[in-house]
A = this chain, B = another copy of it.
């Protein structure tokens, strides 16, 4: 394997011409690594461990992958391939972005190590396919590619931020258990009286009356409303938004 000097793993060919048939494949190694990381966390997916799972020696993996870092990039793109996204956008941008957001969340939830890694865009084939779908959803007359960038970024950012919070909140024991155990610290924070908004969060907690799914969906619609309000033709705005919010605006401008 080339070792160093390549731009990204995607420019390194899987295998050359001469020599014995390889016993494994990148896809197989990647899938094994993902399975271990899913079950026992990212740090459990060491080269030795992956190799053991495959019944071989650690160093054999380096015939397929230049380094562990590259394997991680392969893992990211591998799970992005689980997208149940249509081949092309439907024409209903709102429905398509909703699909994109839910897919982003679903993948991150299924592979909780992803947020540790996600960052740097590696432009793997599956990442390209997903991005193509999201950007294509907003391929609307009058929208520049820069605007599309911003709006897709809003959805991506929302989804990742939300799923990160969900994972953080559900780490280790149950939410109830966690709340009980951190109660003394929370109480001590509240006792300072310097965090009124934190106090509102604790007191008016949303957990009781919303499931994570509902919470995510609700926030997502607010993001989509925010985008819709700025589209040239305002397509995709919810009835509620037009009826409720714009009524206020019209009334206000009448008064002025």
Interface residues, chain A, CB within 8 Å of chain B?
7-8, 10-11, 115-116, 119-121, 123, 128, 131-132, 135-136, 139, 144-151, 153-154, 156-162, 164-165, 167-168, 171, 181-182, 184-185, 189, 194-198, 200-201, 204, 206, 210, 218-219, 222-223, 225-227, 229-230, 232-234, 241, 245-246, 248-250, 252-253
Task: Verify B162–A198 contact, CB threshold 8 A.
Answer: no
Partner of A225, one of B157, B200, B210, B229: B229
With A154-B157, A229-B226 as given contacts, are A197 and B136 in contact (CB-CB < 8 Å)? Answer: yes
Residues of B within 8 A of A250 (CB): 250, 253
CA distance A147 to B226 in the complex (A): 13
| Distance of A227 from chain B, by nearest CB (Å) | 6
Structural contact, A185 and B10, CB atoms closer than 8 A: yes
* Cβ–Cβ < 8 Å partners of A149 in chain B: 201, 206, 219
* Secondary structure of the A contact surface, majority rule: helix
What are 28 A-B contacts defined by CB distance under 8 Å?
A115-B119, A116-B116, A119-B167, A120-B164, A120-B167, A120-B171, A121-B168, A123-B185, A128-B198, A131-B197, A131-B198, A132-B194, A132-B195, A135-B200, A136-B197, A145-B204, A145-B206, A150-B222, A151-B222, A153-B219, A154-B158, A154-B222, A161-B161, A225-B230, A226-B229, A233-B248, A250-B250, A250-B253
Question: Bound state CA distance, A232 and B252, in angstroms?
Answer: 11
Q: Provide the bound-state CA to CA distance between A177 and B72, in Å.
A: 24
> What's the nearest-Cβ distance from chain B to residue A145, in Å?
5
Q: Name the distance in Å between A70's Cβ and chain B's nearest Cβ.
A: 14
Q: Given known contacts A11-B185, A145-B204, A156-B161, is B241 in contact with A230 (CB within 8 Å)?
A: yes
B245 with A189: CB separation less than 8 A:
no
B219 touches A245 (CB 8 A): no
For the complex of A and B, the 6 pairs showing the least CB-CB separation, nearest first, are A226-B226, A157-B157, A157-B161, A229-B229, A135-B197, A120-B168
> Within the assembled complex, what's the spacing in Å between the Cα atoms of A129 and B148?
33
A121 to B36, CA, bound (A): 25
A150 touches B116 (CB 8 A): no
Nearest B-chain residue to A233, judged by Cβ: B248
A252 to B235, CA, bound (A): 11
Min CB gap A93→B, angstroms: 13
B248 and A146 form a contact (CB under 8 A):
no
User: In the complex, what distance in Å separates the CA atom of A194 from the CA atom of B133?
Assistant: 11
